[in-house]
Every structure is written in C-alpha cells, then in structure tokens.
Amino acid sequence: MVLKAQREMTAAAYREWEARQEVKHEYIDGEIIEMTGGTLTHSRIKTNISGNLFALLDHNKYVLCNSDIRLRISPTRYVYPDFSIVRGMPRTEDDSELSLLNPVFVVEVTSPSSDTYDRVDKFGYYLEVPSIEAYLIVDQERVRADLCTRAGDGWFVRVYAQPSAALPLDAIGCALPLAAVYRGISLE
C-alpha cells in the first residue's frame, strides 16, 4: 500500500473531511497520509487472515474489524490497521463509530512501500495504545510474520518464517496457522 503525504490540518478538520472521502487517509500530527490500494497478493493475504480469524474467534468475546475502521492512537494520530480485534464491546470516539478506541490486537500486511512504516512508525504508534496486547506484522513478499506482544513494561517480538508454524495469538484466544495465511499464494 503506497503512502502519499498530503496537506496539514487540525484533527477535528481531518475527522470531518475524512468522513466525506472515498479514499482513506491516516492522520499523524497534522499531516494527512493517503492510503492507496494494494496488490492482488496483498488482498489475498488479507482475505486469508480475515477468513481464518473469523473462523477461529469466539464471537461472544471478540469483534473483528477490517480496514474500514480507523484506530485513534491519540488526539493527533489516527491510523487504519488492516485488522483490529476488540475484546468485549467496541468503544468509539463518538457516535459516528469511525474511530476505534479499544482494540486488543491489530494486524498489518506489509507491502514494499509500507514495510518500514508498518514495522517502525506504526509499531511505535501501537505502543501508545494501552489496550493493545499484540501486533501482528505479516510480510507480503515472503513467508514471515512478526508477532509483537506486550509483556509488562515492554514488548516481546517473535518472528515466524516456517509455513508449519502456528502463531499463538493469546490476546484473542486462538492460534493462526502460518500456512493458512499464505494459502494459495506462491512466494519465492
């Protein structure tokens, strides 16, 4: 997903403006960042993750949200994770239900243009959200998933690169087979 910086505006102006846009935009400290579309591989990985998480989750305890729902990191930062999962009832910033406040788990599927942003900047943003217990970064270019989990005052990162691995998603009470994430996708 290509990121393109736009003009600056206030958070309130951003939220009002964004509600009228056809393309999604993230908002970081006054800067608007356009989120463009992904590749077929990116889409297939996201679809595989979505289908598997939907099948694995206890829907009496968790709510799965796709990339249509943005996450409020702080009063001056809003991002669109590929997926976010809430334990219990979702809380939103206001009645518009556009800005989620309480995910416990977020997922990003990288692309060549977003890899550093997802692994560095977004990871830093997600550290700021006290409800987030785990962050999964899935690579589009190779079989690899980085599972970042909150551990006391810090974070623990474990890299999974074997298709036979199962990702222990303790924050949402399930395990995700890495082979299922890349099902039907040929990567070199």
Residue 112: the pLDDT is 86
Q: Tokens for 103?
A: 């995910």
57 lies in some domain: yes
175 lies in some domain: yes
The Cα–Cα gap between 51 and 156 comes to 26
Number of domains in the chain: 1
94 lies in some domain: yes
14 lies in some domain: no
What is the domain extent for residue 139? 39-181
Is residue 73 classed exposed, middle or buried when 0-12, 13-18 and 19+ CB atoms within 10 A define those classes?
buried
Q: Which helix (H) or strand (E) element contains residue 104? A: strand 103-109
Q: What are phi and psi of 36, to 5 degrees?
A: -100, 170
What is residue 76's DSSP assignment? Answer: T
149 lies in some domain: yes
* Residue pair 172/57 in contact by the 8 Å Cβ criterion: yes
Residue 181: the pLDDT is 98
119 lies in some domain: yes
For residue 58, what is the domain's CATH number?
Answer: 3.90.1570.10
The Cα–Cα gap between 138 and 124 comes to 17
Residue 114: the pLDDT is 86
61 lies in some domain: yes
Q: Tokens for 49?
A: 């993750």
pLDDT by 10s per residue, the chain, length 188: 444 555 678 999 999 999 999 899 999 999 999 887 788 999 999 999 999 999 999 999 999 999 999 999 999 999 999 999 999 999 999 877 889 999 999 999 998 888 889 999 999 999 999 999 999 999 999 999 999 999 988 999 999 999 999 999 999 999 999 999 999 998 76
Which ranges in 39-174 belong to alpha helices (H)? 40-56, 115-116, 122-127
